Structure 1
């Protein structure tokens, strides 16, 4: 499993690196690679909640970025969406593994109080995703970018929660990478809108 995660992470880096150059403005991953942080079973409740919230959030992100495959958007937007998809699939694999290693479930269930205690519900409403999917081609790209910006902003908020209260080095390292990369993606997408 570790080899598969490393392979997917490597492919993600190659995809992003192969599709961009310093002059084209595309975001490349930042922070240490997952394999450079020594794995430990030490964790706290914040680490668990972060991973559970992030997995659910990532799965919604995958729904959103897959919309770019079926709609008319510029090539830079398609490339960014594809890179996000590969990265988030790899991150889900890592997060699921860590929770499994800790004997924790992938989801905290639907206890909204738990979410409220950790900054609120950071999900994107399924109705919003469906509304963007139904937009005509002339309006889709702008709606897609606005929805993805809001979604990635929520990822930054979830990562901040872990950076401030987590204790597990892998989980905190992932939160650092999510915080940096999603902030950069937001800036990139705002540039596409202007």
Structure 2
């Protein structure tokens, strides 16, 4: 099992355990009791309650952002993991490790939000069963890596570096575009904060990758 697949399997198992706990403590006659929305009334709770973040308002823009960002970042994560043993330039390898760590964290965080909101993972995308070796066959990924992953798997050295950087620049720009929409239209504070971080860090990485492409003749 690939690292991406293992991570998401573990996440799904953890969320499943929470579902069981919530199911035991929630009134079945009120299935919407734990769902917050931008139009929902405030819920009384003790100051400092751990459920405060879950009950903060979210809206359709937040859901759209998260459901779109998960597969987009999952594709980038899968591609970054392929750099091990394939990247020819140490700078590309280092960049890939940074991207892998950041996007793994983002995917886990956003999947947790969807659970808290009572919203599904992106439709028709069984993330836990797709890793670097078979993600290219997954339906509707909407990522520049849909076509690039198969070539990345067999490329080595400078050819791999150029292909990865070209696809990652496009992926990062897609992420920035989605994040800017979330900043303008989203309501969930943590999601808007993540979107701001995505704009900041992905934009810097785009410039870094473009400079690397110039050095590598790509």
Q: TM-score, normalised by structure 1?
A: 0.70
Q: Do the aligned partners of 2:88 and 2:158 also contact (CA within 8 Å) in 1?
A: no
Which residue, out of 174, 180, 193, partners 1:160? 180
Structure 2: which 5+ residue stretches go unaligned? Answer: 1-51, 126-140
Residues 1:55 and 2:70 are matched in the alignment? yes
Residues 1:92 and 2:107 are matched in the alignment? yes
Q: CA deviation at 1:79?
A: 1.1
Structure 1: which 5+ residue stretches go unaligned? Answer: 1-37, 111-120
Q: Do the aligned partners of 1:47 and 1:162 also contact (CA within 8 Å) in 2?
A: yes
Q: Indicate the RMSD between aligned Cα atoms, in angstroms.
A: 2.1
After TM superposition, list the pairs within 5 Å mapping 1:1-194 onto structure 2.
Answer: 39=53, 40-109=55-124, 122-194=142-214
How many residues align structurally? 148
Cα separation, partners in 2 of 1:43 and 1:108, compared to 1, 3 Å = farther
Q: CA deviation at 1:125?
A: 4.6
Mapped partners of 1:99, 1:106: distance in 2: 7
Match of 1:26 in 2: none
Mapped partners of 1:136, 1:102: distance in 2: 42
Q: CA deviation at 1:108?
A: 3.7
Mapped partners of 1:137, 1:79: distance in 2: 14
Larger-gyration structure (1/2): 2
